[in-house]
């Protein structure tokens, strides 16, 4: 049986069989990425793992520019996928999403996106094309779904998940770009300049590594700002990839959002009962939440202490009804 079943929905991958190794949020740390990659290749060589699933946010370090190996990680994953095909699955995270829309991502005074925009250089077209094709969800015959961040409010509303699972980044971008007239673009550039206190050319170069007015990406900064503030499909992506889980709405309400999302992910496929996601910090490398229906996994910087980071191995065909049944499959690369 094929491990991956083609889906008519762009943003979900269906996995029918084999053993998955799941890794979350490595944020530009080459050393820990290399450890997980090599562990998977060793497990695969010995017939103990078939598919490596990254749940997003492989890029953007909180450390110094010298420590950030985001570009090397993405290029290595792309090379792995070219060699191993569907055995390598990379789900879209919020840190990858922003590079599709020219959006600046910031935490406090730390700017994430400009360094990676500049680092991509000659690889930019290939990397952005790769990010454009990333699924948002994976679902398995075992009833375990995977995503970057978790469930979100509104996932159970009629048609919401279908819109999310079939969304096209290119269509979203083209719809907004077509609506912006020359005069509107000129006005928006002036507003950017007034707000930042420098020319639009300097701003576009600093945030997106745009070379100047002749660069085909010259208006990407302003188009992205309109997309992020007005387009309903983008707002769904933002809700799904930036959700704060129970920290945002409380444990009881979050459990309801999760139940609704798993129900929607079950449509046309096997019943989905458990979610595995990263995105948020947890002590000891993992946590069970939402009444035992979600496993929060921290493989890298979100694990406290860092050395407690974990990966997950599970059989994608054997039914799982509660997240605690996955705990025997947790492993570490610092042991």
pLDDT in tens, 220-255: 999 999 999 999 999 999 999 999 999 999 999 999
DSSP assignment of 219-266, as one string? Answer: THHHHHHHHHHH-HHHHHHHHHHH--THHHH-HHHHHHHHHHHHHHHT
pLDDT in tens, 193-225: 999 999 999 999 999 999 999 999 999 999 999
CA-closest candidate to residue 146, choices 273, 269, 234? 273
The predicted model scores a pTM of 0.95
Rounded to an integer, the average pLDDT of 262-276 is 97
CA-based Rg of the chain, rounded to a whole angstrom? 20
CA-closest candidate to residue 1, choices 20, 12, 15? 15
d(CA 243, CA 268): 25
How big is the CA angle at 152 (ends 148 and 157), to the nearest 5 degrees? 130
d(CA 179, CA 70): 34
- Residues 6 or more apart from 96 whose CB is under 8 A from it? 56, 57, 58, 59, 131, 134
pLDDT in tens, 90-146: 999 999 999 999 999 999 889 999 999 999 999 999 999 999 999 999 999 999 999
pLDDT in tens, 149-162: 999 999 999 999 99
pLDDT in tens, 292-306: 999 999 999 999 999
Domains contained in the chain, CATH given: 4-165+246-331 (3.60.21.10)
Q: What's the whole-number average pLDDT of the chain?
A: 95
Model pLDDT, residue 8: 53
The DSSP H or E segment spanning 304 is strand 303-304
């Amino acid at each position: 049986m094929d491990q991956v079943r083609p889906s008519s929905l762009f943003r979900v991958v269906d996995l029918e069989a084999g053993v998955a190794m799941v890794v979350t949020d490595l944020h530009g740390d080459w050393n820990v990425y290399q450890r997980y990659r090599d562990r998977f290749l060793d497990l695969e060589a010995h017939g103990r793992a078939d598919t490596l699933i990254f749940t997003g946010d492989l890029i953007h370090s909180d450390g110094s520019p010298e420590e950030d190996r985001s570009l090397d990680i993405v290029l290595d994953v792309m090379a792995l996928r070219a060699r191993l095909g569907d055995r390598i699955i990379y789900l879209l995270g919020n840190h990858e999403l922003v590079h599709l829309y020219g959006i600046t991502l910031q935490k406090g005074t730390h700017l994430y996106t400009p360094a990676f925009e500049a680092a991509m250089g000659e690889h930019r077209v290939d990397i952005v094309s790769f990010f454009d094709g990333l699924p948002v969800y994976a679902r398995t015959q075992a009833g375990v779904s995977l995503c970057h961040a978790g469930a979100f409010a509104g996932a159970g509303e009629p048609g919401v998940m279908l819109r999310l699972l079939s969304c096209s980044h290119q269509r979203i971008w083209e719809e907004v770009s077509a609506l912006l007239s020359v005069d509107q673009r000129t006005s928006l550039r002036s507003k950017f300049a007034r707000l930042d206190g420098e020319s639009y050319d300097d701003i576009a170069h600093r945030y997106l590594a745009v070379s100047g007015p002749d660069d085909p990406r010259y208006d990407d900064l302003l188009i992205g700002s309109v997309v992020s503030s007005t387009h309903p499909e983008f707002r769904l992506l933002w809700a799904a990839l930036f959700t704060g889980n129970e920290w945002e709405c409380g444990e009881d309400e979050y459990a309801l959002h999760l139940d609704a999302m798993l129900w929607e992910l079950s449509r046309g496929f096997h019943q989905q009962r458990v979610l595995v996601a990263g995105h948020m910090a947890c002590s000891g490398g993992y946590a069970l939440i939402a009444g035992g229906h979600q496993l929060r996994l921290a493989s890298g910087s979100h694990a406290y202490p860092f050395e407690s980071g974990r990966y997950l191995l599970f059989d994608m065909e054997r039914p799982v009804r509660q997240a605690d049944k996955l705990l025997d499959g947790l492993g570490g690369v610092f042991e």
